[in-house]
Structure 1
């Protein structure tokens, strides 16, 4: 039997894959790449940057986060010992962001030629939700230089402080089946030109306006509304905290969640949101952003 490594953006398939007959070593990459700042270039600097992001996002110790990320990314250096490497990434933005991070690190590694395979996602369901017999019957799709180069190009654009290259890339026919829609969804979380809200922020405000009074209900509403970005509870919590901070808050601080008067005006298009500082991939967002999502042009534009 060929030796196999399974790369996945988390631990959700660790027990399911052996049950479905997929033997091999399980190598998770638990870096939530679609959350917070990222950068291209030196991996050690990247790990330090991401450890700080993960510590704030998940409420864990920064050193603990750095050690885990280091172990997971360094495991990619051992892939040459396997006969095949299976990449388990779905259509969702979370998965696709980790996929291009991984492909950017594997591009050009000669020992992996002919050994890399992408597991086919159907664009609707998570692998963890598939019946065991369907999971067992999936046919790996070989990845070649074209797909690896596309992943590396996408990562460089994802990490760039200027999002126009990523915008152009997301309009092309790409050799990775679910990448372009995920990249466009990522760009839609830049502030929108018409009201200053990111798409995830708008979906959360709408859910609260429609009665989602806390995290569980808001999470369910956002997951139902947005199949391309299946947000997590931590993402919803972080966005809610962002929108409930400061004197111009859009969501009240106290439970149950309710829109403030300003939140109602912004959601109705009668006032403009000035976003607090944050990063969207490599792009800095702030009260007066340099980059916007223009819904009419369905693309990125510079300062108003």
Structure 2
């Protein structure tokens, strides 16, 4: 029997594949690369340490625990050569596509034997499947091509660049070696602030509040329904909501505290049951009468680009074009 390694997005898909494919080793990638710093580094170890520290700052665990988890994950990738086959199972959404780019970039620098590296690109969320669905997906595994490796390496470098320009250039490519890449490129660009200082997720958060106050889970559910391919987890969503609520000039009010996570169950319950409303400034920003960042400080990572007051890249959704810092 062949000894397979299957690399996939996270624990839900990983557990399903573990139950469904006898003898396979499963490696969940477990990183929200659309959230936080993904800069150029000397090697994978350095980037993993940066990612672990960022996730620790978000309450996912201690820095030491998360660094250990990333080190174990990266060791699993490094020993992939001992397996007969390595299959990458990833979905169509932004969360998965960024993970896929990172992994394909690694294999582009560490080429496997021809035909050993396989890919399943799914338009279905893997965690929603049943064990009975897996054989059909297994039959769809295809060898990764040189074109796919080259495109992934190009895109991964673009994502980690210190400006979003190279990433935006991917919108103009006509090849379809990675068919879900271009929608993911666009969706990531939409997470840059617009002329009002709101990214797409933030607009989706705030727009329903013009009609009625909502609690955070209701805001999350309504935002998810507007996505062509859902990609954002609730913890990343709460971080964006906190940014709207606790800046120098808030756009929303009603939250008693920032999201506390599992270490403070009482504060988390209070947070999730809070009634969120727009402030007058929030209404003005939504109406394009104010720029959020005329009254608030920007300091957020977007891939390898650190967005600051002095380096505030924006995205014009109508023209699908970047707005460089200082143009507005």
TM-score class, shorter-chain normalisation, is over 0.9
- Residue matched to 2:118: 117
- Residue matched to 2:242: 241
Write the distance in 2 (CA, Å) between the matches of 1:63 and 1:36.
18
- 2:286 corresponds to which of 264, 267, 282: 267
Write the distance in 2 (CA, Å) between the matches of 1:202 and 1:258.
14
2:192 counterpart of 1:185: no
2:311 counterpart of 1:292: no
In the alignment, is the contact (CA less than 8 A) between 1:113 and 1:144 conserved in 2? no
Unaligned runs of 5+ in 2: 257-273
Q: Please show how residues 148-163 of structure 1 align to structure 2 within 5 Å.
A: 148-163=149-164
In the alignment, is the contact (CA less than 8 A) between 2:37 and 2:303 conserved in 1? yes
Displacement after TM superposition at 1:15 (Å): 2.7
Displacement after TM superposition at 1:238 (Å): 0.5
Displacement after TM superposition at 1:233 (Å): 0.8
Displacement after TM superposition at 1:234 (Å): 0.3
Unaligned runs of 5+ in 1: none
Write the distance in 2 (CA, Å) between the matches of 1:5 and 1:196.
43
Displacement after TM superposition at 1:210 (Å): 4.3
Displacement after TM superposition at 1:59 (Å): 4.0
Displacement after TM superposition at 1:96 (Å): 0.5
- Residue matched to 2:265: none
Describe the superposition over 1:158-199 as per-residue Cα deviations: whole angstroms up to 9, x where unpaired: 00012111111132134111011101111111111x211111
Displacement after TM superposition at 1:10 (Å): 1.1
TM-score (norm 2): 0.86
Displacement after TM superposition at 1:100 (Å): 0.6
Displacement after TM superposition at 1:289 (Å): 3.9
SS of equivalent residue, structure 1 residue 226: coil
Q: Which moved more, 1:236-245 or 1:294-303?
A: 294-303
Write the distance in 1 (CA, Å) between the matches of 2:114 and 2:77.
14
CA RMSD of aligned residues (A): 1.8
In the alignment, is the contact (CA less than 8 A) between 1:279 and 1:285 conserved in 2? yes
In the alignment, is the contact (CA less than 8 A) between 2:316 and 2:323 conserved in 1? yes
2:127 counterpart of 1:128: yes
Write the distance in 2 (CA, Å) between the matches of 1:94 and 1:58.
19
Write the distance in 1 (CA, Å) between the matches of 2:119 and 2:25.
16
The structure-2 alpha-carbon separation of the partners of 1:86 and 1:263, relative to structure 1 and needing over 3 Å to count, comes to same
Describe the superposition over 1:53-92 as per-residue Cα deviations: whole angstroms up to 9, x where unpaired: 1112234211111111111122111111111111111011
The structure-2 alpha-carbon separation of the partners of 1:18 and 1:263, relative to structure 1 and needing over 3 Å to count, comes to same
In the alignment, is the contact (CA less than 8 A) between 1:87 and 1:117 conserved in 2? yes
The structure-2 alpha-carbon separation of the partners of 1:223 and 1:91, relative to structure 1 and needing over 3 Å to count, comes to same
Displacement after TM superposition at 1:23 (Å): 4.1
Write the distance in 1 (CA, Å) between the matches of 2:190 and 2:233.
17
Displacement after TM superposition at 1:133 (Å): 2.6
Q: Please show how residues 133-212 of structure 1 align to structure 2 within 5 Å.
A: 133-138=132-137, 139-173=140-174, 174-192=176-194, 194-211=195-212
In the alignment, is the contact (CA less than 8 A) between 1:262 and 1:271 conserved in 2? yes
SS of equivalent residue, structure 1 residue 44: helix
2:216 counterpart of 1:215: yes
